[in-house]
Structure 1
């Protein structure tokens, strides 16, 4: 029976992979299959994407609609920051186990007598979201930094007795090195010899943090990419010596890409000038909550169609505004004029904001030679990495599979895939029928042997306009499964439309 080791590099752009910087990722590519058209979901944020990894579906079904969101199920509504592992545990308990509204890989495996282990150096909330019910099943979930995200206590105690106390988070902007080595050693020297989990998720929290604080192609970011790649090399050495013969399949993934922030704006200031009273959390006198982050998420206190239309009219008039989404009015349009329906980006959920928008992005080239630039709204200097929107470089993610179950010899698959496809593929290979909640598909085209291959691939584009504003969303469909391919506003929207017609 196969086992799986899924290794994630948070925020790694596929075009940063090369033989000099990442020789071990390339080494695995040569042994397996590269998913060359791999994508993530919208919003392209970590704590939306990793829930998609473990649920095999999009935010519309699992409900993690952003790194931060407003919870309207409580009275009064409250602001939720999902980086907080303790808060996530409280929310799950309060909701009767419905923190996520789709079953996760850990739950499904446990129901079938299998196990999921998590080793991660991401935020404590991200670490918990990989397997938020690990305590319930006695599964292992260990953080490289945060004790509150770890379970069970005896495993944490053994890790610290063997490797030392969990290291602190490094100073702001410095590469997170020590914790990446710790979780690698924990898997190789303790977790695998002791438990041999059916599925292990080993998540390096870099290069995401370094990209945010130094720049996506900066020397410190490249330093930590190279270090994480060396940790992967340790895993591949073990796999070649032992793991492959034990039936272990390796999956390499990232949750999103990055583009470069070039022009700082203030969404709140723009709304103030238009007569709104914005804030970052629900409160008296606040008529629209502007959730902090690179994903535009606006929550109205008065949720009338008139007020919503006014808000969208203001937003779409701004030079920083990219694609805009509201609750669907029909098969294409949102209920506010000029918007597209949230269902088109698979993000329509009870927690979804009244208005989603992506900042306007372009194909400018940053000082490191990387394509993709954008407006942004945070207190950092220009030139740093951001993500969350619909630029193709934000959606582009790493996808590599290798092992006895997959085709080898460096095969490159050009069939579109995304982060939702890994969970149903793992379940299929374990002989477990993926639940109907999973919108991802089994990656038959990457598998060894004779499998039915879906050859019908088509593209589709959706457009909306209001006044001088226009937008376009492009998707690609493989069989009955649709993937996001990019979203544009302004002149780029027209270009995307013409490309689609061609």
Structure 2
């Protein structure tokens, strides 16, 4: 492939693929007509932003890159500590403390830098998410700009140049207000300054919406649809540039989302349930806490004494609750976890040293929400019902956007129904740029949407779709089922479900 081939990855945080429609997102629909759509595309587990985007830039699952959730307990130090990866300054500190091993797999920015190429990031996500797109950008002199947060920006002189050219960083919006200004700022920064002056080999342009608005207004709410339309208009500016200039310059466009959303219908308290079962639950490690319940929509339970017996006791307690969905513990054999009723966490590619002792998702269903969107769930937070949530294994949480266009890709509205996933983009980009794919990558080159043959040094050219695998476990009235599908040797999660006989 030509050495002039460049990539622009445009992300829409939390956009459900089934919300892409001519009236709401005419420009994403235009991209579909110009290029190819991955219609059976999904993310990783947990379907959280700061697990999924590390998978985007490493081409691998959390079992290899190590970002086991938006928040986790760090057991590598004494005393143990609670980590919130939304904090960009903390992430830099952790990376330096660990000798550069915050991420357990090489990232796109590092791989490109080793080949003399550049990755630029412009994002309106949280400071931590923005850093995750290229957490070592300052080490290579690469550009990473946040639409709101100076602590996530590097180099400082580039930020000052951009601010002088297009205006100051917009202030962080309140959580209840859709972020329109930030999306406009990063779009203008790319189109008016970063591309004309620097022409990065790969650029990630990440709109932090509609995720936040979905969380605080609802996935199908008027405010959420409004910010989706706004992000689509910003993307329309990008697409106009691409058709006028970018395509001729060898730029390939990839539009993605990191996960979908479903809707919370019933609020519960995991900590209260565990207290009633005799555990001393807390949200961070402490002398009087024997199980840490990491806050979030994905259940992550860390025991002070993670013996097999205590893990089994914990699984027994949560599987008796109506809110409990699929449950995972460290593997006992090829299928089961060490606790009766659980599946092995290797089946969801979550078996990293940072993984919790017990992972679970809240029980979800296919009921329609007030906006007519499929997918509802129990939840544990201080917000009201009928708001967007994600993190688990419902197919609508796992479903994510994958649309491509450019000279290297099939065009004319081509649609691929082959299973694909967020881990496949980095190997595809590297392959098309003639850069070696690291052995750590679990994703594959998306040969089915590439217009011409390309080399795949790891030999993952097999596009045979295997019959879905189903794994089951149960305990008492509780039963669970996990379904996966594979293309060649690459495995994708299709969904996880749980039921109780007495419900």
TM-score category (smaller protein)? over 0.9
Q: Which residue of 1 aligns with 2:468?
A: 459
Mark the runs of 5 or more structure 2 residues left unpaired by the alignment: 455-460
Deviation at 1:48, TM superposition (A): 0.2
Q: Is the 8 A contact 2:462 2:487 kept in 1?
A: no
Return closer, same or farther for 1:258/1:100 CA change in 2, 3 Å cut-off: same
Asked if residue 348 in structure 1 is aligned to residue 357 in structure 2, the reply is: no
Shift of 1:456: 3.4
Residue-by-residue CA offset, 1:111-158 (whole Å, 9 max, x unaligned): 000000000000000000000000000000000000000000000111
Aligned residue number for residue 497 of structure 2: 488
Deviation at 1:453?
5.8
Q: CA deviation at 1:340?
A: 0.2
The SS at the match of 1:406 is coil
Aligned CA RMSD, in angstroms, stands at 0.9
1:4 partnered with 2:13: no
- After TM superposition, the structure 1 = structure 2 runs for residues 313-352 of structure 1, keeping only pairs within 5 Å, are 313-352=316-355
Match of 2:457 in 1: none
| Distance (whole Å) between structure 1 residues aligned to residue 86 and residue 175 of structure 2 | 17
Structure 2 residue 165 is matched with structure 1 residue 162: yes
Contact 2:323 2:363 in 1 (8 A): yes
1:424-481 superposed Cα distances (whole Å, 9 cap, x missing partner): 0000000012011000000000000357561333210000011111000000010000
Q: Is the 2:147–2:183 Cα contact (8 Å) retained in structure 1?
A: yes
Change (3 A) 1:259 1:456: closer
Equivalent-residue separation in structure 1 for 2:79 and 2:462 (angstroms): 50
- Of 39, 47, 60, the residue aligned with 2:42 is 39
| Matching residue of 1:427 | 430
1:475 corresponding residue in structure 2: 484
Instruction: Note the C-alpha offset of 1:169.
Output: 1.6
Q: 1:56 aligns with which of 51, 56, 59?
A: 59
Deviations 1:232-286 (A, max 9, x none): 1000100001100111000000000000000000000000000000000000110
Does 2:386 align with 1:377? no
Deviation at 1:87, TM superposition (A): 0.3
Q: What does residue 362 of structure 2 align with? A: 359
Indicate the larger mover: 168-177 or 119-128: 168-177
| CA deviation map 1:4-55 (0-9, x unaligned) | 0000000000000000000000000001010000000000000000000000
Aligned partner of residue 457 in structure 1, secondary structure? coil
In the alignment, the residues of structure 2 paired with residue 51 and residue 215 of structure 1 have an alpha-carbon distance, to the nearest angstrom, of 26
Aligned pairs for 1:294-309 within 5 A: 294-309=297-312
User: Hey, what's the Cα distance between the residues in 1 that align with 2:80 and 2:437?
Assistant: 34
Aligned to 2:260: 257
| Cα distance in 2, alignment partners of residues 413 and 203 from structure 1 | 24
| Other-structure match for 1:228 | 231
Partner of 1:498: none
Counterpart in 2 of 1:415?
Answer: 418
Q: Is the 8 A contact 1:458 1:478 kept in 2?
A: no
1:291-326 deviations in Å (ceiling 9; x for gaps): 000000000001111111100000111000000000
Q: CA deviation at 1:160?
A: 1.3
Instruction: Encode CA deviations 1:200-228: one digit per residue, 9 max, x unaligned.
Output: 00000000000000000000100100000
CA distance in 1, matches of 2:184, 2:462: 39
Gaps of 5+ in 1: 493-502
What is the alpha-carbon distance in structure 2 between the residues aligned to residue 367 and residue 303 of structure 1?
41
* Structure 2 residue 69 is matched with structure 1 residue 66: yes
Q: Which residue of 2 aligns with 1:247?
A: 250
Extract structure 1 runs of 4+ deviating beyond 3 A: 450-453
Report the number of matched residues: 492
8 Å CA contact 2:82, 2:285 repeated in 1:
yes
* Residue 491 (structure 1) shift: 6.3
